[in-house]
Amino acid sequence: MRQTSFVSRYWRLPCTNIRIMNKYSTGSFSPVLSTEWSSCCGCFGFECCQKKHHLLMNRSLKIIMVVLLFGLLTMVRSYEDDLFYDPLIRFFKVDHSTQMLPEFDIWKLLMNVALRFFMNTTISLLILWILFMKKEIIKISALLYSAVFVVLLMAFIFLIYSKEMGGHLALFYVRRFLIQPLFLLLLIPAFYFQKKI
């Protein structure tokens, strides 16, 4: 009875208290303590410390990688003028409510919009993988991104050909969802909330 009481008292102590355990693990208590300590913390009581350190390292590495990937998304946004052909960038930076769309190569514009969308999507999927580490989430996200791309690209083409002068607000927002990783800001809290349920 004394052995069980002693073990139940000390078996939850952290690994930093190994010396305390060793101090009392003499005589009749030694076999019981050795078995109990090995079962909860591993050989010599160091395995639990290593697991905690490994978890902390993984969490720190995840944070660093996510920050770097968000920085990569920011760089795509910052260097958009140099990376992509998009005459609408400058057009939407000024008052465009009563102006006609500028002249541009429609196919070249569509290719560059698609390229930018897939670059942002790839980085976004990497972020989701690092945050959640689940293949199901990546598959669902990839399907959602594909569906969103098809719908928005069709709407984008329709709005370009349907309006020649003024009223470009719908075109502005459709294009914005195509070239900006806004969908990621919706998926992260959605999957996080689903994970908590």
| Predicted local confidence at residue 41, as pLDDT | 46
| Predicted local confidence at residue 102, as pLDDT | 81
Say whether pLDDT at 132 is over 60. yes
pLDDT classification of 84: cutoffs 50, 70, 90? very high
Q: Is 172 helix (H, G, I), strand (E, B) or coil?
A: helix
Say whether pLDDT at 66 is over 50. yes
**Residue linked to tokens 């709407």:** 155
d(CA 165, CA 101): 7
pLDDT classification of 58: cutoffs 50, 70, 90? confident
Average pLDDT on 128-152 reads: 94
Average pLDDT on 157-173 reads: 79
- Asked whether the beta carbons of 113 and 149 are under 8 A apart, the reply is no
Q: Is 168 helix (H, G, I), strand (E, B) or coil?
A: coil
pLDDT classification of 170: cutoffs 50, 70, 90? confident
| Predicted local confidence at residue 49, as pLDDT | 57
Of all helices (H) and strands (E), which one includes residue 64? helix 47-78
| Predicted local confidence at residue 101, as pLDDT | 81
pLDDT classification of 136: cutoffs 50, 70, 90? very high
pLDDT classification of 27: cutoffs 50, 70, 90? very low
Mean pLDDT for the chain? 77
- Which pair of tokens denotes residue 122? 């790839």
Say whether pLDDT at 146 is over 80. yes
Instruction: Tell me which of 72 and 35 has the higher pLDDT.
Output: 72
Cβ-based neighbour number of residue 192 at 10 Å = 11
Q: Helices marked H in 100-162 — which ranges?
A: 106-132, 135-162
Q: What percent of the chain has pLDDT over 90?
A: 44
- Asked whether the beta carbons of 124 and 163 are under 8 A apart, the reply is no
Helix axes 169-179, 182-196, angle to 10 degrees: 60
User: End-to-end distance of the chain based on CA atoms, in angstroms?
Assistant: 42
| Predicted local confidence at residue 54, as pLDDT | 59
Of 6, 1, 77, the closest CA to residue 36 belongs to 6
Say whether pLDDT at 166 is over 90. no
